[in-house]
C-alpha cells in the first residue's frame, strides 16, 4: 500500500469513530485508529503504523479538521471533529451522509 493510500485510511477510520459519537470528545490511542492488535502483528509493523497514524493525526490537527490535546504517550485526548470537517461529513447524497457511509465502510 502506498503512503498516500495508507494516509487516507487513517483519517477515514478516525472520522468514522468521531462522527459516530459527535459532539462528545473522545480519548483515543494510536491502536484505535490503526486497528492494531499487538498479539497478531510483528513489532516492526506496529511501530511503522503507529508513526504513520501520529503523522496523519497531527496533519489533520494542523489543518483544522480535528481538535485535540496531543500527549506523548500514544494517546490523543479530548479529540473531536471541527466545524470544517463536520460540514463535509454531513453532506448527503443518495439519502445518506458521507459520515454515515464512512461508518459503514470502517
Compute CA distances 102 → 19, 42, 51, whole Å.
Answer: 9, 28, 23
User: What is residue 43's predicted lDDT score, i.e. its pLDDT?
Assistant: 57
* 23 preceded by a cis bond (ω within 30 of 0): yes
User: What is residue 102's predicted lDDT score, i.e. its pLDDT?
Assistant: 75
Indicate the number of domains in the chain. Answer: 1
User: What is residue 45's predicted lDDT score, i.e. its pLDDT?
Assistant: 61
Alpha-carbon distance of 106 to 89, in angstroms, equals 14
User: What is residue 101's predicted lDDT score, i.e. its pLDDT?
Assistant: 79
CATH number for position 14: 1.10.10
Specify whether the backbone of 64 is left (phi greater than 0), alpha (psi in -120 to 50) or beta: left
- Where in the sequence is the domain holding 29, given as residue range(s)? 3-105
User: What is residue 26's predicted lDDT score, i.e. its pLDDT?
Assistant: 86
Nearest CA among 8, 55, 5, 6 for reference residue 30: 55
User: What is residue 47's predicted lDDT score, i.e. its pLDDT?
Assistant: 66
User: What is residue 22's predicted lDDT score, i.e. its pLDDT?
Assistant: 87
0.75 exceeded by pTM: no
**C-alpha cell recorded at residue 85:** 470537517
Mean pLDDT per segment of 10 residues, for the chain of length 106 residues?
Answer: 74 85 85 63 63 84 87 77 86 79 74
Question: Which residues, 6 or more positions from 101, have their beta carbon under 8 angstroms from its beta carbon?
Answer: none
Amino acid at each position: 500500500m502506498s503512503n498516500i493510500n495508507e494516509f487516507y485510511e487513517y483519517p477515514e477510520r478516525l472520522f468514522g469513530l468521531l462522527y459516530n459519537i459527535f459532539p462528545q470528545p473522545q480519548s483515543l490511542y494510536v491502536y484505535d485508529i490503526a486497528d492494531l492488535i499487538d498479539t497478531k502483528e510483528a513489532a516492526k509493523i506496529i511501530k511503522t503504523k503507529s508513526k504513520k497514524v501520529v503523522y496523519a493525526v497531527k496533519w489533520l490537527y494542523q489543518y483544522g479538521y480535528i481538535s485535540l490535546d496531543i500527549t506523548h504517550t500514544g494517546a490523543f485526548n479530548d479529540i473531536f471533529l471541527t466545524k470544517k470537517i463536520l460540514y463535509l461529513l454531513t453532506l448527503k447524497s443518495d439519502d445518506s451522509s458521507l459520515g454515515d457511509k464512512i461508518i459503514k465502510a470502517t
